Structures are given as C-alpha cells and as structure tokens.
Copies of this chain bind each other. A is one copy, B any other.
Amino acid sequence: MTQQLSPTERSTIRRGSARARTERSDLHEVLDASLICHLGVLVDGAPRVLPTGYGRIGDTLYVHGSTGARSLREAAEVCVTVTNVDGIVYARSAFHFSVNYRSAVIHGRARQVTDPDERWQALQVITEHLAPGSWEHARQPNKKELAATAVLALDLTEAAVKIRSGGPVDEDEDVEAGKAWAGVLPLETRWGAPEPADDLAADFEVPAHVRDRRYSA
C-alpha cells in the first residue's frame, strides 16, 4: 500500500485536476528534486513570499534562517511551494501554451523547532539538501552559529502535488489548420564546472561530492 495524500478543502486541486497526484511518494519526489522553495507568510496582513533552502525528514519539511528574520519569527500559517520547471509547451493557439512542471504546495502551521537534537538534524538535512556530502566535509555549526539560527518545521500532511508533462492539448480545428508548430521545448538544468574560492589553496582538489554531483531534478 502506498500512502495517499489527504486533501483538505484548501489543498484540493480544482484547476487542472487531471494534473493532480495523490501519492505521498510523488510529494517526496517533487520536494527532493528542487533546490529551493518559496515560503509564503503573513506579515501585517499581507502575503510575503521568500525564496529559501529547505530539507526533509520523512513527512516534515524544515527551513531555517536568521533569528532576526521577521518572516521566520512571525510565521504561523505558512504555505511552502516548490516548483520544478521542465519545459515550455508550445501550442497552436496562444490560449493553450503551457509549462511542463512538477510542483508541490504545502499548507500548515509552522512550528518553531526548539529541541536541540531536532534542530541539529534539521540543519543537517537542510545543508545536505543544498549540498549533498557537505555536512561531514565542512565544519559543523558551533554554539554561536546555532544561537543565531531559527529553524521552522512544517508538517507535510496538507499538500497538493501537480505534475504536467507531455505535449500541448490543442483545439481540433487548430490541429487541422496545421498553421503553427506545436511541441515542447525542454528545459535542462545541470551543474557547471566547480569554481574554487579565491582564498582556497591552489592544490586543494575538488572533492568527489562536489565534482560528481548530479542534478536530480
């Protein structure tokens, strides 16, 4: 048995419901494939959307930031959205142009993480999500750095996953007219050559976890 997402009123997909996915494994895949999320919070009654890194342990998403960041301090009801763009869908009509994408929209009440062990694990997965292999390679946080870092947890219970793939869906008469090109222009993302820091020793070899990193999206 695979686990199903449990849609609530606000996580039920109404527009383009053919693209909705209901498996929890789809949610995990979308989250694991992207580098950053967009965190939506309320500040003074208005929405604020900020790009930030994240990490995942099971069905909990973690984000971190400065303890001075207002968006993290005041976060309560939040929305975290992760979007992978896979290509542009060219249709015969402007109306049917689209984007191939895999996205997840998560709603919930963010929890400030205060337990030292959970904070440590959260910082580890956030670092590993951004740069796999780096938690063990780099120096881990010291007391002062920990004190300056706020960690928020978000339960993944209430989430909507949408995936669009494949070619355009055109009107029959436009297909028959045959006047416009139609198809997909795929977007490809990959890592370039590592660029050593200016203050790195010239003979410091690029470690395997950087050199061999694969783009997972």
Cβ contact within 8 Å between B184 and A195: yes
| Interface size class of chain A, counting residues whose CB lies under 8 Å from the partner chain | 35 or more
Interface set, chain A 93-123, CB cutoff 8 A to B? 93-95, 97, 99, 101, 103, 105, 107, 123
Knowing A46-B10, A47-B79, A48-B79, say if A196 contacts B180 (CB, 8 Å). no
Determine whether A206 belongs to the interface, using a CB cutoff of 8 Å to chain B.
Answer: yes
Cβ-closest chain B residue relative to A205: B181
Interface set, chain A 41-80, CB cutoff 8 A to B? 41-51, 53, 65-66, 68-70, 77-80
Distance, CA A196 to CA B92, complexed state (A):
12
Determine whether A35 belongs to the interface, using a CB cutoff of 8 Å to chain B.
Answer: yes
Knowing A77-B45, A88-B130, A192-B186, say if A145 contacts B181 (CB, 8 Å). no
Q: Which chain B residues lie closer than 8 Å to A127 at the CB level? A: 94, 97
Of B99, B178, B210, B215, which one neighbours A36 at CB under 8 angstroms? Answer: B99
Interface set, chain A 163-213, CB cutoff 8 A to B? 167-168, 170, 174-175, 177-201, 204-207, 210, 213
Cβ-closest chain B residue relative to A199: B175
7 A-B residue pairings within 8 Å (CB atoms): A10-B43, A40-B48, A49-B81, A92-B138, A95-B145, A139-B174, A181-B204
A residues near B (Cβ < 8 Å) are 10, 14-15, 35-36, 38-51, 53, 65-66, 68-70, 77-81, 83, 85, 87-88, 90-95, 97, 99, 101, 103, 105, 107, 123, 127, 130-131, 134-135, 137-142, 145, 149, 167-168, 170, 174-175, 177-201, 204-207, 210, 213, 215
